[in-house]
């Protein structure tokens, strides 16, 4: 799923013929890659399988958002991100509502997909007080989560940012800036910089609302 369609882009640019369709499709793909590279996450809704390392805390924050469903959660000390022998067998599955719960109040950017542990090793803290919280057991690649995250349709502001970027790239090309696949990285890096270019400042402002700032 591209961040914008050729038809919407041509309407935005005021183009009524097909003379530039091949170029515009190339620029859409380049702009998609630049924006997704900058925000560091996917936008399209998808079912994801990811591995995490438990750190002994109650919260585990999933990498993609918004989270709409959690299919399964497994905790296996010998899982090693799916590479351990017999990793994440059915007996290692945690039960939603008993072992953990997920905060999915609304489908928006505030839903970061927090998995909250209910159960955990032991019933007492280190100072022998009754434990009233769960925890994700410490380990390396010991938590496997299958979940659904992303948007069923591209948010309108992200689609708009893609169109603005394509327009800027098209104008830059007309002014002698080559548009090649090896330049994609520079587009992403340019978005990071305060270049004083109004179009890029607008794009950056939109993308920063979606940018993945969570360190796992």
Q: Quick check: 18 and 175 in contact, CB under 8 A?
A: no
- Asked whether the beta carbons of 140 and 56 are under 8 A apart, the reply is no
Q: Which two tokens stand for residue 79?
A: 């899982």
C-alpha to C-alpha distances, 65 to 35, 41, 207, nearest whole angstrom? 16, 8, 14
Greater confidence (216 vs 13) lies with 13
DSSP-derived 3-state class of residue 103 = strand
pLDDT in tens, 1-34: 899 999 999 999 999 999 999 999 999 998 998 8
pLDDT of the residue at 103: 76
Residues 182-192: what's their mean pLDDT? 53
Residue 130 pLDDT: 56
The pair of three-digit structure tokens given for residue 31, joined into one six-digit string = 């702009």
Please tell me the predicted confidence (pLDDT) of residue 132: 63
Q: How many CB atoms lie within 10 A of CB 56?
A: 12
* Contact status, residue 134 vs residue 99, Cβ threshold 8 Å: yes
Residue 163 has pLDDT above 60, yes or no: yes
Average pLDDT, the chain: 84
Q: For 105-152, how does the pLDDT look when each residue is reduced to its tens digit (9 = 90+)?
A: 544 555 568 899 988 765 555 555 555 678 999 999 999 999 999 999
Radius of gyration of the chain (CA): 22
Residues 54-65 have pLDDT tens digits of 999 999 999 888
Share of the chain above pLDDT 90, in %: 52
> What does the pLDDT read at residue 176?
55
pLDDT at site 50: 97
């Amino acid at each position: 799923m591209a961040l914008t369609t050729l038809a919407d882009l041509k309407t935005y640019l005021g183009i009524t013929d097909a003379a530039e369709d091949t170029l515009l499709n190339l620029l859409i793909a380049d702009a998609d890659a630049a924006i997704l590279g900058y925000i560091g996450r996917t936008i399209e809704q998808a079912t994801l399988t990811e591995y995490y390392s438990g750190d002994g805390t109650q919260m585990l924050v999933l990498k993609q958002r918004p989270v709409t469903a959690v299919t399964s959660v497994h905790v296996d000390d010998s899982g090693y991100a799916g590479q351990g022998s017999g990793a994440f067998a059915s007996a290692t599955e945690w039960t939603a509502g008993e072992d953990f719960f997920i905060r999915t109040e609304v489908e928006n950017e505030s839903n970061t997909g927090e998995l909250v542990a209910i159960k955990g090793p032991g019933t007492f803290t280190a100072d022998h007080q009754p434990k009233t919280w769960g925890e994700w057991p410490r380990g390396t690649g010991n938590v496997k989560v299958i979940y659904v995250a992303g948007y069923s349709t591209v948010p309108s502001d992200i689609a708009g940012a893609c169109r603005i970027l394509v327009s800027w790239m098209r104008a830059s090309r007309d002014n002698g800036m080559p548009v090649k696949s090896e330049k994609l990285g520079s587009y992403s890096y340019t978005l990071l910089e305060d270049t004083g270019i109004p179009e890029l400042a607008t794009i950056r402002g939109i993308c920063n609302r979606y940018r993945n700032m969570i360190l796992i």
